[in-house]
Amino acid sequence: MAELDFYEKPGCINNRKQQEILRQLGHVLRAHDLLTTPWTPERLRPFFAAKPVTEWFNYTAPRVKSGEVDPTVLDEAGALAAMVADPLLIRRPLIACEAGQCSGFDDNPVLQALGVYEAPEGIETCPRAHAANPCQYPPAEAT
């Protein structure tokens, strides 16, 4: 059992499923609102470890989907600046625990240390249709 900080988008269906997986493994979670946490580039950077910059992003974020933000052309400093300004761009969840820090709920050493060896298919893909009701920041309502 581990205690961990879980940075989520409140109301996110998949973040809720991810938390349940971790709790079923016996972990204690302290949930934090990813969108209102006061991020700085220095605080955010360790969550991405050795992942390439393109894997730091939430590709369902409205600004990415619209083409306003193109993760493929941003360097590390540009990506961090964009994410600090708009936390919806951050691939979530962000997890911090004794085993380290990580972003996303995929195959990574931190999740493996927590006992998550294979995440369910689609656990990071938002099931909502965003065309009619896109996510917003700051959020108008929890979605």
Active site residues: 12
Quickly list DSSP for 66-135: TTSS-GGG--HHHHHHHHHH-GGGB-S-EEEETTEEEESSSS-HHHHHTT-SSPPTTTTS--S-TTTS--
Nearest CA among 12, 19, 54, 55 for reference residue 34: 12
Task: Extract the tokens encoding 34.
Answer: 């990813």
Residues in CB range of 73: below 8 A, 6 or more apart: none
Q: How many CB atoms lie within 10 A of CB 139?
A: 15
